[in-house]
Each structure stands twice: as C-alpha cells, then as structure tokens.
Copies of this chain bind each other. A is one copy, B any other.
Amino acid sequence: MEVRTMEHYEMLNDVLVNLFNEILVIEEKALITSEFRDITGNDMHILEAVGIQEPRNMSSVARTLSVTVGTLTIAINNLVKKGYVNRVRSEEDRRVVLLSLSEKGEKAFYHHKKFHDDMIRAITEDLDKEEIEVLTRALDKLRKFFRQYQK
C-alpha cells in the first residue's frame, strides 16, 4: 500500500470510527438551543420522521426510525405533552393514529433543517461542480454498502 493511499485510509478510518460516533452528540448540542431546550436529539429525530408532509401513522414512522411501535408510543406521548406533535385518530379507520407537527414542531423542524443546510454548505464550499459530483457518487456507494451489509 503506497503512502498516499495509506493517508486516505487513516483519514477514512478516523471518520468512520470517531466522527460517526460523535455526530449525534454534537448535532444534539448544536440543535438544542434556548428556543428548543426541552427536546432531545432523539426527539428531533422523531420530528424529522413525522415530517411536514401528509400526516403519518405510528407504524410507518416507527418503521422509518427502526424502532418498535411501542417505543414510538412512549416518545410521542412526550412530544404531544410538550406540544411538538399532534396526535389525531383517523376518521376513516379508527384504529389508526395520525401524527403531524404542531406549529412549534414545524419551527423545530426548520431549525434542524437549517443546521443541515449549513453543514452541506460547509462541506461543499470549496468544491466545484465536478467535485461535488464525485462526492455524491462516493457517498452513494457508502449508502449502498450499508444497505447491502444489512442483509
């Protein structure tokens, strides 16, 4: 293995070992500002899954988050109590619970989104179009690797 490649290996390994493990913690610190001081990083993750599109039911949100529906129920209890999420029984099928973001929840959602935008800007700042293309391709490979390894 030549030196140059070795450096890249070390770099990538460091990212995998350290950065990914730190990201959730750091992200949480960055997100939980004075305005949204009563929600955790986990909560924010749930708000993101509930999203700003059509209301979603419990099962589908749980699937997105890879948790059981029981686990989600507890988390949603909290978010409803804190006023971030609306929980409404469906009229068509009264077994179904529909989740949506309250105004406060949407605010938090957009606050989070801004963090991601900032992050993407930071990453792509000094990259030209072609380089961004390369980066996108590499990350896509990373994703495929994970999704395939899952099996």
Contact partners of A27 in chain B: CB under 8 A: 146
Which one of A53-61, A73-81, A118-126 contacts B? A118-126
A142, B142: Cα distance in complex, Å: 15
Q: Are B48 and A17 in contact (CB under 8 A)?
A: yes
| A25 at the B interface (CB under 8 A) | yes
A108, B13: Cα distance in complex, Å: 17
| A35 at the B interface (CB under 8 A) | no
Q: Which of A46-77 contact B (CB under 8 A)?
A: 48, 66
A1-44 interface bits toward B, Cβ cutoff 8 Å, 1 = contact, 0 = none: 00011001101111111011111111101100000000000000
Residue numbers of A with Cβ under 8 A of B are 4-5, 8-9, 11-17, 19-27, 29-30, 45, 48, 66, 116, 118-120, 122-127, 129-147, 149-150
Q: Are A134 and B127 in contact (CB under 8 A)?
A: yes
In the assembled complex, how far is the CB of residue A75 from the closest CB belonging to chain B, in whole angstroms?
A: 15
Q: Are A141 and B116 in contact (CB under 8 A)?
A: no
Contact partners of A5 in chain B: CB under 8 A: 129, 132
A62, B87: Cα distance in complex, Å: 39
Contact partners of A122 in chain B: CB under 8 A: 141-142, 144-145
Q: Are B15 and A24 in contact (CB under 8 A)?
A: no
A26, B123: Cα distance in complex, Å: 24
Q: Are A30 and B119 in contact (CB under 8 A)?
A: no
Given contacts A11-B139, A15-B143, A139-B15, contact A129 B29 (CB under 8 A): no
